[in-house]
């Protein structure tokens, strides 16, 4: 039975347009990806490719050479719910790009888009300038604990200014592109929360109304979503 709206959501002053705050942080993602049994390699790597001179791989373990960064931020899912005050720990994406991606992969001139691919088959893309913002991270810890499988282990992108569908989980490959790839379905090419870029083809307010009507049923679904082989909410 779905919890009542009063028990699960609240409208809070200061939230972005159309968002309601919830007290928990359910796992999210398109079912075809979120329900896929996922096996994380014993030595996870990030493959760096696309429009680069030297495609290569870097072990996630090697990121320890970068300065760690911790930041609190709110998470906004496109389906109209928000979780406030999450504490992420990991590495600034800008530091990773400047100190690892550029010297190793050597991007070609004019590469302006970043494609993010996960172990679950999910992919999304953002303009590189958005990914280089101060608050964008490659995170491996959430609220003081190692990232669970449900929330993106071993490594995920955290981009607070963008809806959750741009915050790709289980990262295994990053690509730079001169030309942007076709979007996934109705996904907006940028997905900025402040602009209410929920999707393509209609104003953000129309998407907002559609999602708001189904909010409680969607929350019930995501709260009960378990990846095959996972244990409760902590992941494999």
The answer to whether the CB of 137 falls within 8 A of the CB of 68 is no
pLDDT at 232 over 60: no
Most confident of 6-20, 30-44, 181-195: 181-195
Q: What is the pTM of this model?
A: 0.86
CA angle 126-66-72, nearest 5°?
Answer: 60
Q: What is the mean pLDDT of residues 119-123?
A: 93
Q: Which domains does the chain have, with CATH numbers?
A: 29-71+87-201 (3.90.420.10)
Per DSSP, the residues of 95-150 read HHIIIIIHHHH-BPTT--EEEEEETTS-EEEEEHHHHTSTT-EEEEEETTEEPPTT
pLDDT value at position 144? Answer: 97
* pLDDT bucket at 3, cuts 50 / 70 / 90: very low
Ranges of beta strands (E only) in 33-80 are 45-50, 56-59, 69-76
Structure tokens of 206?
A: 């129309």
pLDDT, tens only, 100-111: 999 999 999 999
pLDDT value at position 227? Answer: 61
pLDDT at 191 over 90: yes
pLDDT value at position 15? Answer: 92
pLDDT value at position 39? Answer: 81
Distance CA 96, CA 184 (A): 26
pLDDT value at position 27? Answer: 80
pLDDT, tens only, 145-154: 999 998 999 9
Residue partners of 140: CB distance under 8 A and separation at least 6: 60, 89, 90, 146, 147, 153, 154, 155, 156
């Amino acid at each position: 039975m779905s919890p009542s709206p009063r028990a699960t959501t609240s409208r809070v002053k200061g939230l972005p347009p159309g968002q309601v705050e919830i007290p928990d942080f359910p796992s999210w993602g398109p079912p075809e990806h979120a329900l896929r049994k996922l096996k994380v390699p014993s030595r996870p790597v990030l493959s760096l490719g696309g429009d680069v001179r030297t495609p290569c791989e870097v072990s996630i373990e090697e990121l320890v050479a970068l300065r760690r960064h911790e930041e609190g931020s709110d998470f906004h899912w496109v389906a109209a719910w928000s979780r406030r005050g999450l504490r992420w720990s990991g590495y600034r994406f800008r530091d990773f790009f400047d100190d690892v991606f550029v010297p190793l992969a050597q991007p070609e001139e004019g590469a302006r888009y970043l494609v993010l691919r996960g172990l679950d088959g999910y992919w999304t893309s953002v303009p590189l300038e958005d990914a280089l913002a101060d608050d964008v991270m490659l995170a491996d810890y959430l609220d003081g604990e190692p990232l669970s499988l449900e929330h993106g282990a071993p490594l995920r992108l955290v981009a607070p200014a963008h809806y959750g569908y741009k915050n790709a989980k289980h990262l295994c490959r990053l690509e730079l592109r001169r030309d942007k790839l076709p979007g996934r379905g109705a996904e907006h090419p940028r997905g900025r929360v402040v602009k209410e870029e929920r999707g393509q083809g209609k104003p953000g307010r129309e998407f907002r109304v559609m999602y708001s009507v189904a909010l409680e049923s969607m929350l019930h679904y995501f709260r009960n979503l378990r990846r095959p082989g996972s244990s409760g909410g902590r992941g494999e």
